[in-house]
Each structure stands twice: as C-alpha cells, then as structure tokens.
Structure 1
Amino acid sequence: MLNQGKYSVLGINVCAVDYEFAVCKITSAAKNKQPCAVSALAVHGVMTGFMDRTHARRLNGLDLVLPDGQPVRWALSWLYKQQLPDRVYGPNLTLKVAESLTKEGLSIYLYGSEKETLNKFAHNLAQLYPGLKIAGMEASKFRRLTEEERLELVERIKASGANAVFLGLGCPRQETWAYEYRNLLGIPILAVGAAFDFHAGTLPQAPKWMQDAGLEWFFRLIQEPKRLWQRYAILNPLYLWNVFQQYLGLRKFAPKMPNGDEKLESYG
C-alpha cells in the first residue's frame, strides 16, 4: 500500500498513491458511512482547475485526487521524484472498489449518464460481482438542479441505504458535484466519468499499449473528433508547457484551497 502524500501539479493537489491505498480508503469510509470525495484526473481534469481558480479550490477540497492519466503520473515523477508503480485509472478503480464493497457486503448508488447506459452498467457489474448490492440508480437530468431537487436527491440516496455513490457526469461537472454533495451525503463519492460508458460497453477503451504510452487521448480523439479536438489540441500542449515551467522553477503553482465560494454550481 503506497501513500506518499499530495503534490501540486499546476496548483492541483494530486495524491501520490496506488490502487491498494485508494481502494482501502474508499472502502473504510463506506463501511463507516464517512464522507470521502474522490476523482481520478487526466490532463483535461487538471487543466479545468488550472484555468478556473474556483474549480481549483473545489478540486483541492476533495479527499483524493488520483493520477488517472499517464502524463499526470509522469508529472509527479518529473516534479517530485514520486515513482508510482502505475497510474490510478478511474475505470480500473471502479471495478476494484466494486469488488471490495462486494466482499464487505456494502451497497452502491449509481448516479449520472443516461438510463440505457446505467442499465447496462448495472447489469455488467452484477455479472462481474454477483453479490454486489446496487441500492439505486438514476440518470442525469443534464441541467442544473433546483435547491428543492438537490435536497430530494440527497434524501433519495440516503433513503436507499447506499454506502457509496459511483458518479458519472463527466469532467468537470462530476468533480463539482462530488465537492458539493460530499458533506450532504456523508458517504464516499467516486467520480469516474467514462467508466460508466466503458463498463456498459457503449464506448470502447484504448488498447493497453496506448494507455501505457500516454496515448489514450489520441484513441478517444479518433472516436469522438468533433467533440474532443479542441480539448486536446489546446489543453495538452498547454499542460506540457506549464509543467515544464514548473519543473524549471520558472513558475510556482501554489494550491488554492476551498473558501466557501464554490457552492451551488453542480449539474445533475
């Protein structure tokens, strides 16, 4: 189990941990019904905080920000000599946490995505882990919720008895949601985005060699060029340039912590 602490990558506190530590922390919080907001960030996720100070404070208010993308893991190595055995990839973490919760007899609530994807995701999880308890699930409304809707959602999740929430709203909406609902729900929230589609079978994953080489972004670009080309054409070079400046000491990126100005922005 590896936990080397948190390190600023462009002002976002990324945890230098392995799968075992993350699964253990999430499972422990689920058993004890304690809040634990978790997100696995690739380059795009880090850059959403880099370009938005309010969102940076939200990200730094999460309990675990994990190095989902290889370039984020590499940044921990370049900047801080943190040699992690692997990245902590959100879709893999999802399955490892589901397996751990199944062994403990704990339940999950699935929130986000579309109804068809949710049904397939739940079915495939049940096939993989027959004892897994799915306390409830509901699709995203794809809009900002009213205050009344927010409170009703909290009550539905609490009433289900779920020990943890698997959240799939896409970046950065899911991180905002996890930050805002952390204390309202008081249980782990695992923001895993594309894991819903990957494990539902509605979106293909990149081959392992591309993942290991840090080329997963290119595979996804080929799959969804119209939606993703601007993200990768602009954000990837900008990320590398700023990490290079941080490495040389030309710029310092002090993490911005929550100050109470980050509320009531989430979509549902």
Structure 2
Amino acid sequence: MDNSKKRIISIDVNAIREVDLIEQLHHRIEQEESGYACFSNVHMLIEAYDNSDFAEVVNSATYALPDGLPVAKSFRVLHGISQERIAGMDFLPLFLHHCNLKEYRVAFIGSTEEVLEATRSKINRELPGIVLTHLISPPFGQSWENEKYVRQLNESNTQVVFVALGCPKQEVWMHAHTRQIDAFLFGIGGALPTYVGVIKRAPAWMRKSGLEWFYRLLKEPRRMFKRYLYTNSKFLYLLARHYIK
C-alpha cells in the first residue's frame, strides 16, 4: 500500500488522497492491524519542532495527515506536489459514516461526559450500524487507569478508537498504548464538540481560504492569541527558510 510521507519542516506527513486513506484504513481494521493517526496542523508541527521527543511520537504514527490548510499547501512549496487537506473535523463524521456501513465496534476516549453523551445520542440516532463499546472521560488533573482502559477496549473487541485529549497529550497517549490496544486509534483533538453541535465551526468559505484559525481566534481570543501569534509566525519563518534551502 502506498503510504509515502514527505518532510514538512519537522514532521513526516502523508502524501495521500482521502479516498485512498479510507481504503487503507478499512484494510488495516479488517486485518486487525493496530496503529494510530495524527491530524497534523501548524500547532502540532511547531510542537514537534520545539520538542524532539514529540517529533518522534508524530513521526512514528502510521499516518500523519495534513489537517491544516497551511500544512497541505506546504507540499507544493517544499516538494512541488499537490496535496489535499484532510482535516480531523471533516474526517470524523466521514469515517463514522464508513464505520456505520461496516458495522465497526467504536469507542471514544477524552472530552467531557456531557459531550460524550451527546455523541452517544447522535450516533445511536443517525448511525445505528455502529456498535459503541465505550465512551471514556478520563478524570481531569488526576492519574488515569490506563491499564483498565486498555483492558476494556480489548475485551470488547473494539476496532476503532477516537482519542479526544488534545494535542500533544492525545498523540503521546496513542504512541504509548498503540501496541497494547488491538484497534486503530485516531487523535481527533477538539472535533467532538463541533460534531455534536456544542461549538459552531467556521463557515465553509473561511475553511477553504485557510482562515479557520482566525475564526477560532475571534471566538477564543484570550486562549488562542499567544498560540497563534507564536506558532503561525514561527511556521511562516521556518517554511521560508526551508524553501530557500
């Protein structure tokens, strides 16, 4: 299977069409192959640039997918090839549709109990082919019962696990447990609240223009300002430097 990756500054990102990705995922899941997928945006890329241990976590992933439009566009700048964006927020509902058709056994770990219950209701109502095995909300600010979670997932024959712990925590967790869990793991970040309608997503024109980050900044200026000021500026600087090289 073609699973080629290209270096984008600090991480190796898959050069792949979404339709081919889904075909490969079905093969891996039905062959009971474990692994994990990261949705790589500018924030993750800069985290990896600043932290070599985290870079190893992302670069060890089965898939590091171009979540952010700037990351997808970087393929053209650095490698002269076209690459579509594969955003976690778009991939979640799309792949849940495929899980429904295949009647996969699916679990979620992360987010709040309220969001997880809304997820349960939405899936039971709209995607009855999915077998929901577990919805786990780990305690905030406390140690987790990782051995218990792993045992629960394996004993229930879960095939797909969506991990919603946020970057970089979810990637580190997937990397640490992928060999113990007999399922394929997806780090979906903050996609769940948007999926169930708790948080409104940016309009389509902003997503297509690469301005989804600006929409989030407008919604959460205090939390997002420092992150975007630092990560976006550093990304543009590093991209220009690598392009010149």
* Smaller-chain TM-score bracket: over 0.9
Gaps of 5+ in 2: none
| Deviation, structure 1 residue 128 | 3.0
Q: Which residue does 1:253 correspond to in 2?
A: none
Give matches, 1:6-21, under 5 Å. 6-21=5-20
- State the distance in 2 between where 1:52 and 1:227 align: 21
Aligned mate of 2:104, from 92, 97, 106: 106
TM-score by length of 1: 0.87
Q: CA deviation at 1:47?
A: 1.0
**Could you tell me which of 182, 185, 188 is aligned with 1:189?**
185
Runs of 4+ in 1 over 4 A off after TM superposition: none
Q: Which of 167, 176, 179 in structure 2 is aligned with 1:180?
A: 176
Q: How many residues align?
A: 245
Q: Find the counterpart in structure 2 of residue 243 from structure 1.
A: 239
**1:24-103 correspondence runs (5 A):** 24-84=23-83, 86-103=84-101
Instruction: Note if 1:212 corresponds to 2:208.
Output: yes
Deviation at 1:156, TM superposition (A): 1.1
Q: Secondary structure at the match of 2:207?
A: helix
Of structures 1 and 2, the one with the larger relative CO (CA 8 A, separation 6+) is: 1
- Taking structure 2 as the reference length, the TM-score comes to 0.95
Query: Matched residue of 1:30: which SS?
Result: helix
> Residue type matched to 2:43 in 1?
H
Corresponding position of 2:223: 227
Question: Equivalents in 1 of 2:29, 2:141: separation in Å?
Answer: 28
After superposition, the CA RMSD in angstroms is 1.6
**What residue ranges of structure 1 are gaps of 5+ in the alignment?**
250-268
Match of 1:130 in 2: 128
Q: CA deviation at 1:215?
A: 0.6
Cα distance in 1 between the residues matched to 2:4 and 2:149: 33
Between 117-126 and 193-202, report the one with greater CA deviation: 117-126
